[in-house]
């Protein structure tokens, strides 16, 4: 009996006969044969999906291949976590909208677009709150509005210790400030707290600090908020340093680097690292990780590398 590829067979059959073998048997007028060896042309019952189980565990982030897998098993609906709503707010009197001419002392608001792209990879729905000036009343109103409608808030700028850096004070006054800074570079100014039911991450204004914070902390926190577990880990490997590196502080440093292959070996070198320039970040595909105690890394030394190419 003919069966189309991928279709179920009638009568619970789990054995297939090669067409040429059957034809030869018929031509030779041999009695119907028995005891054919099972061949892998018909999968055993339950091989693809067993009963009503889709085979995906709680906390598994659904990919395109998972959706296809469930559709193959006839699952029209599955229980899933709602995608978190995450508000994005950039702060600073110096920010100018993209497409507008720059006045003296102004810079284009690039962090909104950087954040939107980075957060899109975290399985969240981004709510753009635009740009807020460096005023306590304006910041307080916008954060309160975001906290009422969103699960989390990510801000940039205003998290350091300057005269116009007001966000830590606003968070402490309107909610709960849990962390004011972290021992890393770039991205040391990073406040964390809560306003009403919304978690808030207040990041540095420099793009390199934003990138480091999202890849190191914020991205995983938002994935966890969306029900994903266990959290995916960065591809981490060891490479040979192509040129020496130094630092002058006792904090973990994430040095933007370029990982490349030469002569069958993986090498890494620092890219041109300028905290406020996205161009230097575009050239990088990894971080070279310097621990707090390491002040000098020599050329030829094996160093830990966290690869982020394709993630941002």
**Confidence at residue 190, expressed as pLDDT on a 0 to 100 scale:** 93
Q: What is the mean pLDDT of residues 128-153?
A: 96
Q: Give the pLDDT band (50/70/90) at residue 299.
A: very high
Q: What is the mean pLDDT of residues 134-158?
A: 96
Q: What is the mean pLDDT of residues 188-215?
A: 93
How, if at all, do strands 236-241 and 152-156 pair? unpaired
Closest by Cα among 291, 248, 293, 253 to 273: 253
Does the pLDDT at position 35 exceed 70? no
Does the pLDDT at position 162 exceed 90? no
Does the pLDDT at position 8 exceed 90? no
* Cα dihedral across residues 187, 191, 193, 197: positive or negative: negative
Q: Give the pLDDT band (50/70/90) at residue 77.
A: confident
Count of CB atoms situated within 10 Å of the CB of 184: 19
**Confidence at residue 309, expressed as pLDDT on a 0 to 100 scale:** 72
Task: Provide the β-strand partners of residue 45.
Answer: none
Determine the Cα–Cα distance for residues 136 and 9; give it in Å rounded to an integer.
Answer: 70
Q: What is the mean pLDDT of residues 122-128?
A: 94
Does the pLDDT at position 207 exceed 70? yes
**Confidence at residue 52, expressed as pLDDT on a 0 to 100 scale:** 57
Cβ neighbors of 258 (< 8 A, separation 6 or more) are 268, 269, 270, 271, 283, 284, 285, 286
For the chain, what is the mean pLDDT? 84
**Confidence at residue 271, expressed as pLDDT on a 0 to 100 scale:** 87
């Amino acid at each position: 009996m003919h069966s189309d590829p991928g279709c179920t067979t009638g009568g619970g059959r789990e054995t297939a006969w090669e067409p040429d073998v059957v034809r030869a048997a018929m031509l030779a007028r041999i009695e119907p044969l028995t005891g054919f060896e099972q061949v892998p042309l018909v999968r055993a019952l339950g091989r693809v999906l067993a009963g009503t189980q889709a085979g995906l565990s709680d906390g598994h982030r659904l990919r395109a291949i998972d959706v296809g897998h469930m559709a193959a098993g006839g699952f029209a609906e599955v229980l899933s976590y709602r995608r978190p709503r995450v508000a994005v707010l950039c702060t600073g009197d110096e920010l100018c909208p993209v497409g507008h001419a720059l006045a003296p002392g102004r810079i284009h608001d690039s962090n909104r677009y950087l954040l939107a792209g980075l957060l899109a990879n975290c399985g969240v729905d981004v709510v753009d709150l635009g740009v807020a000036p460096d005023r306590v009343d304006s910041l307080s109103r916008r954060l309160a509005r975001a906290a009422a409608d969103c699960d989390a808030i990510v801000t940039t700028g205003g998290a350091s210790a300057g005269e116009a850096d007001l966000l830590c004070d606003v968070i402490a006054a309107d909610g709960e400030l849990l962390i004011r800074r972290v021992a890393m570079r770039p991205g040391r100014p990073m406040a964390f707290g809560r306003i009403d039911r919304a978690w808030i991450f207040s990041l540095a204004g420099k793009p390199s600090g934003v990138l480091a914070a999202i890849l190191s902390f914020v991205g995983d926190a938002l994935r966890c908020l969306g029900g994903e577990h266990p959290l995916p880990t960065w591809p981490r490997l060891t490479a040979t340093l192509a040129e020496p590196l130094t630092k002058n502080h006792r904090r973990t440093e994430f040095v933007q680097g370029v990982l490349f292959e030469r002569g069958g070996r993986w090498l890494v070198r620092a890219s041109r690292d300028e905290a406020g320039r996205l161009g230097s970040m575009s050239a990088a595909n990894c971080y070279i990780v310097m621990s707090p105690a390491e002040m000098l890394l020599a050329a030829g030394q094996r160093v830990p590398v966290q690869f982020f190419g394709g993630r941002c």
